[in-house]
Structure 1
Amino acid sequence: MNTARATWVALAALAGCGAACGEQTPPPGREESWDFAATAYPTVIRGGGDYTSAVVTADHGALHLEGRYNYESVGARSAFVGWNLSGGDTLAWELTPMLGGAWGTTEAFVPGLEASLAWGRVDFYTEIEYVRHPDERKSSRYVYAWSELGFRPVPWLRLGAVAQRTRAYGGDRSVQAGPFAQVTWDRFTLGGYWFNAGSSDQVVVVSIGASF
C-alpha cells in the first residue's frame, strides 16, 4: 500500500473513532454546524523559486480536518485529522493535536499540533509538525514550525512578529523571523509576512483567507 493510500485509510479510521468515541449530543434545538476556512499563501523568494501554498480546514464540533498543499515541500500534499480542545476565560487557550500524512514530493506519516493563547489584545499561535520519511536516516526527519506573537490595537488589525522553520525552499537559515500585519473584514483576512528583512535570502509571504 503506497503512502498516500495508507494515509487516507488511517485518517478515515481516526475520524470514525473520534466520532464514535467522543461525540456528544448537542442541547435540544441546537445542532452543531460545519465551519470551513481556506487560506492561500503566495510566497516570493529573493532570487526566484516563487510558489503558492494553501491550507483548508473543516471543523464540526471537536472534530478537525485539515489539508495542506506545498507545505512540507513544493509539490507535496498532506492531510490531517485532529481534535479541538479549548478552555480558559481571562487567558483563553486552544489545542488541536493532529495525525496525518504527506505524499507527492514528501512522503511520510506526520503528527502535528496547533495551539493558541489569547490574553486581552495579545495572542500567540503556533503550528508544529514532525515529518519522518520512511528512510530511517536522521537527516530524513524534520520539525516544521510556524509561530506568531500578535497584538490587536483595534479589532480589525493585528500586528506582530513571526518565526518559521521550513524546508519548503532553500536557504542557510534554520529559523527565519520577521514582522507581520493582518487586516480582517467580516469573514476575510489579508496578511503580509516579511522574513529575513533586507537580507539576500529574504522571503515575503502574503496570506489571503476566508472562513464560511
Structure 2
Amino acid sequence: MCAAEDSAAPATAPATAEAPGWSGGVSAYLNLPRGSESYVTGIAIAKRGALHLEARSNYEGMDAYSFFVGYNLGWGDALRLDFTPILGVVTGSVHSVVGGFEATLTGRHFDAYVEFEYVPDAEPSGYAYAWSELAWRPRDWLRLGLAAQRTHVPDNGRNLQRGVFAQVKGKHISGAVYWFNPAADDQIAVVSVALSF
C-alpha cells in the first residue's frame, strides 16, 4: 500500500511507501462430540502484506501442532476472491510436511470459505483435511449457513461431517455455534470464539 502524499509537505519531498501493518487473530473451537470427550482446537493467524503465518493445535489429530507460512493473494471488489497457498509442518502425534490453501469468495450478502490441507505422512496413509462454510449474511453482524469438515478428530467413522452454523460478529470479536450430523447419533456441537486485531 502506498501512503498518500501529505498536502502540507514541500513539492520536492519524495514519496515514501508505508509498510503494511500486522493483522490477524486467534480462535478457539470447543468440540463437543456426543458420547466422546470434548477437546479444543486452536488457530492463530498473523498477516503482514502478502505474508501469512499460522499455527494450529488439535487440527490434524489430538495433540498435533502445525505451523504454516503462506502468501496472501486477492482479486476483485464487489465479488472478491482471497486465496492463500500455505506450506508447513505438523508435529506431536502426527509428523509430516503439510501443503494446502485457504480461500474465501465474498459477495454482497454471501460468502464461501474453504481451508484444505494434505498430510502425506498421516497414518495409515496420506489424508486430506478440510473445513468449509457457505454463508448468507442478512446483517453485517450475522452469518447463517452450512458447514462441513473432513477430519480424523473425532474418529467417529465418518469421512465427512456436515451441519449448520450461526455466527455473530463484532468489530474485534465473534462467536459461532456449529451443529454437525444433526440427524445422527454421532452429533458434534462446536462453539467458537475468535478475537481479531
- TM more than 0.5: yes
Alignment partners' CA distance in 1, 2:31 and 2:158: 17
> 2:148 maps to what in 1?
163
In the alignment, which residue of structure 2 is the partner of 1:35? Answer: 23
- With over 3 angstroms needed to count, the CA separation of the structure-2 counterparts of 1:134 and 1:106, relative to structure 1, is closer
Q: Normalising by the residue count of structure 2, what TM-score does the alignment of the two structures yield?
A: 0.90
Q: Sort the Cα spacing of 1:29 and 1:111 in 2 relative to 1 into closer, same or farther, 3 A.
A: closer
Aligned residues: 185
CA distance in 1, matches of 2:61, 2:129: 11
Instruction: Give the C-alpha shift of residue 36 in structure 1.
Output: 2.5
Q: Distance in 2 between matches of 1:112 and 1:130?
A: 6
Identity %: 43
Query: As a proportion of its length, which structure holds more helix?
Result: 1
Residue 162 of structure 2: aligned partner: 177
Indicate conservation of the 8 Å contact 2:78/2:108, yes or no: yes
Q: What's the offset of the Cα at 1:67?
A: 0.1
Matched, 1:112 2:100: yes
Higher Rg of the two aligned structures: 2
Q: Is the 8 A contact 2:94 2:122 kept in 1?
A: no
Q: Which residue of 2 aligns with 1:150?
A: 135
Shift of 1:134: 7.6
Q: Determine the C-alpha separation between the residues in 2 that align with 1:34 and 1:107.
A: 30
For residues 58-117 of structure 1, the C-alpha deviation after alignment (integer angstroms, 9 at most, x for no partner) is 001010000000100110000000000001122100000000010000111000100010
Backbone CA RMSD of aligned residues = 1.4
2:111 — aligned with what?
A: 123
What does residue 69 of structure 1 align with? 57
Report the equivalent of 2:10: none
Q: Note if 1:89 corresponds to 2:74.
A: no
TM-score by length of structure 1 reads 0.84
Distance 1:167 1:48 in 2: 14
List structure 1 runs of 4+ shifted beyond 2 angstroms: 25-31
Give the deviation of 1:30 after TM superposition: 2.6
**Residue number among 33, 51, 54 corresponding to 1:45 in the alignment:** 33
Report the AA paired with residue 159 of structure 2: S
Q: Pick from 90, 96, 101 the counterpart of residue 89 of structure 2.
A: 101
2:181 maps to a residue whose letter is N
- Following superposition, the deviation at residue 26 of structure 1 comes to 4.4
